[in-house]
Amino acid sequence: MIAAVDEFILYDDMQYTRRDWRNRNQIKTPQGTQWLTVPVKVKGKYYQTIRETEIDGVAWQQDHWKAIVQNYRRAACFEEVAKIFEPYYLGRTYTHLSELNRALIEVVCRYLGIQTKISNSWDFQLIEGKSERLADLCAQAGGGEYISGPAAKDYIVPEVFSRRNIRLSWFDYSDYKEYPQLWGDFTHGVTILDLLFNCGERTISYMKYRPDRAQSLVR
């Protein structure tokens, strides 16, 4: 999705949700998929934004990198990609979840040559209303089209966007091409690190992006 847009806004002013993809992802192992979870500090019944969510300790960094090495060291592009990502696990510390997520998103984009502008939602004025806020963020960024993940169909009101002459599009995550993968039958829904370790710079040939953006991504 980041590769398909001109500006990608990290919407971290929304409520932190438990058992979501905010602080965890899956890798593939000989025993199947395994969750790598970043421990976070929560207040009461999660009455906090993603932006406010603090990381609990640093031990997870060693644990995650050890699991990554154990399960991907045989991958075709492991050494090349590991040199880029190891410092983000073992050479830095992070206080907040948003800080970690942005750092990892940015390093993936740099590696793949994705030059999309990445902004934070707190760079903008935020109004009330779920759909209204999203449409207004798009308008403030000067956008004429808002591309959303399909899960947002449960709450987005399309008319809010049409009233502002903003096109609403839904990103399609289905029918991704299978790529060479370790450990048996192909498994969808794992971290992009799985694709990077197995395919390296060929990763972009397995990604979805708009035809008018393709030339700028292919190196």
Give per-residue pLDDT as tens, 52-101: 999 999 999 999 999 999 999 999 999 999 999 999 999 999 999 999 99
Cα 210 to Cα 197: distance, rounded to the nearest angstrom: 24
Mean predicted confidence (pLDDT) in 31-38: 98
Mean predicted confidence (pLDDT) in 175-202: 95
pLDDT-derived band at 208 (thresholds 50, 70, 90) equals confident
Mean predicted confidence (pLDDT) in 176-199: 96
Residue 151 has a pLDDT of: 87
Cα distances (Å, whole numbers) of residue 31 to 64, 70, 133, 182, 188: 17, 12, 43, 11, 15
Please check whether residue 210 is in contact with residue 192, taking contact to mean a CB–CB distance below 8 angstroms: no
Number of domains in the chain: 1
Name the residue range of residue 119's domain: 2-217
pLDDT-derived band at 210 (thresholds 50, 70, 90) equals low
Query: Which helix (H) or strand (E) is 109 found in, with range?
Result: helix 97-112
**pTM of the prediction?**
0.91
Residue 45 has a pLDDT of: 65
Q: What is the mean pLDDT of the chain?
A: 93
The values of phi and psi at residue 166, to 5°, are -110, 125
